[in-house]
């Protein structure tokens, strides 16, 4: 690798939605360990976002935290302006990687799910992903990469997850279309589908409920529930040049859940 290539690698910038907690936070930190700076979003908890900024600084990289509700498309123009300002702070005009990670959980039987609940899931998990990606396209470098976060629940049906999983299924289809339509710009687009992971997601039920944790572990070939450190490094690796030829794929990261 030439010095020029090395300098380029050090200058990579990622945008990660929902980067103040859970899998997003883990991804931001692992990207920093690979020399990638980040602009990441948080919904409300500024204090947690600042902790992530500090963790990235500990790795010798820079991170900028921006507030965003990914379910409110009307705010995306303003957000794109903030991204431009943040890129300027990082000495750049464009970014390289987009990780559409922000999400909300929902557990309700099909026949009990309300229209309002379905609309909320649609706004965050599909409409938000669709239009935020569209809004940021002019700012992503040709040859960049996009990762959309899905779920193992698109493959395995757990009662109570029909609405959430359906939105993630839509994102998986969108991923393939983006890979096709953005191909002329050499932008690779993939889906990462985590299994059950011990975070604060869904009220922390996999992390904090021993019965649920054991049930997941018993259904997983590798014998335990997932951890954030199982997912963040994988996303960071997928974004790297090593995986430049991986495109339009759904990659499940679940330790072999329900196989």
Angle of CA points 121, 78, 139, to nearest 5°: 90
Instruction: From 163, 160, 173, 168, select the one nearest 195 (Cα to Cα).
Output: 168
* Sequence-separated (6 or more) residues with CB below 8 Å from residue 221: 255, 256, 257, 259
Residues classed as catalytic: 164
């Amino acid at each position: 690798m030439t010095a020029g290539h090395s300098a380029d690698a050090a200058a990579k910038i990622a945008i990660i939605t929902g980067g103040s907690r859970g899998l997003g936070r883990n991804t931001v930190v692992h990207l920093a360990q690979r020399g990638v700076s980040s602009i990441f979003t948080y919904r409300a908890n500024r204090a947690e976002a600042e902790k992530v900024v500090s963790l990235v600084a500990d790795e010798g990289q820079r991170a900028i935290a921006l507030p965003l509700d990914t379910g409110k498309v009307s705010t995306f123009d303003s957000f794109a302006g903030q991204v431009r300002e943040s890129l300027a702070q990082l000495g750049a005009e464009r970014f390289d990687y987009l990780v559409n990670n922000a999400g909300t959980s929902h557990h309700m039987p099909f026949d009990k799910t309300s229209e309002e609940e379905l609309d909320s899931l649609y706004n965050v998990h599909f409409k938000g992903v669709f239009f935020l990606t569209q809004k940021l396209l002019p700012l992503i470098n040709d040859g960049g990469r996009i990762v959309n976060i899905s779920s193992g629940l698109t493959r395995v049906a757990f009662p109570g997850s029909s609405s959430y999983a359906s939105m993630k299924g839509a994102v998986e289809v969108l991923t393939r279309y983006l890979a096709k339509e953005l191909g002329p710009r050499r932008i690779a687009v993939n889906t990462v589908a985590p299994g059950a992971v011990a975070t604060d997601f869904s009220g922390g039920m996999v992390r904090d409920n021993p019965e649920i944790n054991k049930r997941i572990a018993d259904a997983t070939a590798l014998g335990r529930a997932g951890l954030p450190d199982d997912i963040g490094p994988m996303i960071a690796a997928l974004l790297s040049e090593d995986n430049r030829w991986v495109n339009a794929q759904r990659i499940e990261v679940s330790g072999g859940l329900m196989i």
